[in-house]
């Protein structure tokens, strides 16, 4: 039985399959070490926390800040499942890494605010570790300043209650956080290579993240960027999640 679970929250099956492979390869996991579930089309099983030691939650074109009346049935159904994962990890009963859309789930669960005031353009962005980030078990081995890939329409401007801020930048102040020692969340994408990110951009080029006419120029900037540090954080999280307790 796989010990980690990739949690898909993307309606686009092709992008989801590629995201799974990005998580698996960047975390250096064998296929039998990373299972997968598609929360867009099925529910989190009741025995999930008995079956898997940790969870890797992917990104999504969904937005928490969209009016409830405009959310799809799938989004309304999967948000409580994600909160279950976050709550169990916050309590130290599991391990979880939430990314992109998922950080908003964690912030909201903790009583923080997610808004449209902190979007970031598609492409590479500069990230800086906080003092707590430099001391963190997962992030502490990274360069203090590094480049990561982002594309989001919402974010958090303040660290929510009960969380420790690990990484930040000016555009979206909450870039990475930790709750306890087993729940992590990043606004940036820790899993894709630059090439994989441009392929994902092609899927979402008409979804309002960037002007579709700028695809080639943005892709060139992405491909020129070094995004090794976020991958290193993902590998360390996975290593620790799989370590014998």
State how far the Cα of 245 lies from the Cα of 173, in Å rounded to an integer: 33
Q: Model's pTM, two decimal places?
A: 0.96
Q: Assign 244 a pLDDT band (cuts: 50, 70, 90).
A: confident
Per-residue b/e over 78-115, b at no fewer than 16 CB within 10 Å?
bbebbebbbbbbbeeebbbbbbbbbbbbbbbbbebebe
Rg (CA), the chain: 16
Domain count, the chain: 1
Which strand ranges, in their side-by-side order, compose the sheet holding 183-186?
A: 34-38, 4-8, 54-57, 95-99, 183-186, 176-179, 164-168, 120-129, 145-152
- pLDDT tens for 33-84 read 999 999 999 999 999 999 999 999 999 999 999 999 999 999 999 999 999 9
Q: Assign 2 a pLDDT band (cuts: 50, 70, 90).
A: low
Residue % of the chain over a pLDDT of 90: 98
What local confidence, expressed as pLDDT, does residue 220 receive?
A: 98
- pLDDT tens for 127-148 read 999 999 999 999 999 999 999 9
State how far the Cα of 89 lies from the Cα of 85, in Å rounded to an integer: 6
Average of per-residue pLDDT across 29-35: 96
Average of per-residue pLDDT across 22-35: 97
State how far the Cα of 25 lies from the Cα of 152, in Å rounded to an integer: 23
Average of per-residue pLDDT across 156-167: 98
> Could you list the residue range(s) of the whole structural domain that residue 48 is in?
4-242
State how far the Cα of 213 lies from the Cα of 215, in Å rounded to an integer: 6
Residue 158 pLDDT > 90:
yes
CATH code at position 97 = 3.40.50.880
């Amino acid at each position: 039985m796989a010990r980690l679970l990739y949690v898909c929250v993307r309606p686009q099956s092709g992008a989801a399959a590629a995201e799974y492979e990005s998580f698996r390869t960047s975390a250096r996991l064998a296929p039998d070490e990373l299972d997968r579930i598609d929360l867009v089309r099925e529910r989190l099983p009741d025995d999930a926390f008995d079956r898997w030691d940790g969870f890797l939650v992917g990104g999504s074109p969904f937005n928490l800040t969209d009016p409830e009346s405009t959310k799809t049935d799938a989004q309304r159904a999967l948000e409580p499942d994600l909160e279950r994962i976050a709550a169990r990890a916050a309590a130290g009963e599991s391990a979880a890494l939430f990314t992109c859309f998922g950080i908003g789930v964690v912030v909201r669960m903790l009583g923080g605010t997610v808004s449209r005031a902190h979007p970031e353009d598609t492409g590479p962005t500069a990230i800086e570790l906080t003092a707590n980030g430099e001391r963190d078990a997962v992030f502490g081995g990274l360069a203090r300043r590094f480049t990561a890939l982002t594309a989001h329409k919402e974010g958090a401007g303040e660290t929510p209650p009960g969380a420790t801020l690990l990484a930040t930048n000016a555009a979206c102040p909450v870039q990475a956080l930790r709750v306890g020692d087993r729940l992590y969340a990043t606004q940036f994408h820790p899993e894709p290579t630059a090439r994989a990110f441009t392929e994902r951009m092609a899927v979402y080029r008409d979804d309002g993240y960037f002007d579709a006419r700028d695809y080639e120029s943005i892709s060139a900037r992405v491909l020129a960027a070094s995004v090794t540090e976020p991958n290193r954080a993902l590998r360390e999280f996975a290593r620790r999640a799989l370590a014998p307790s």
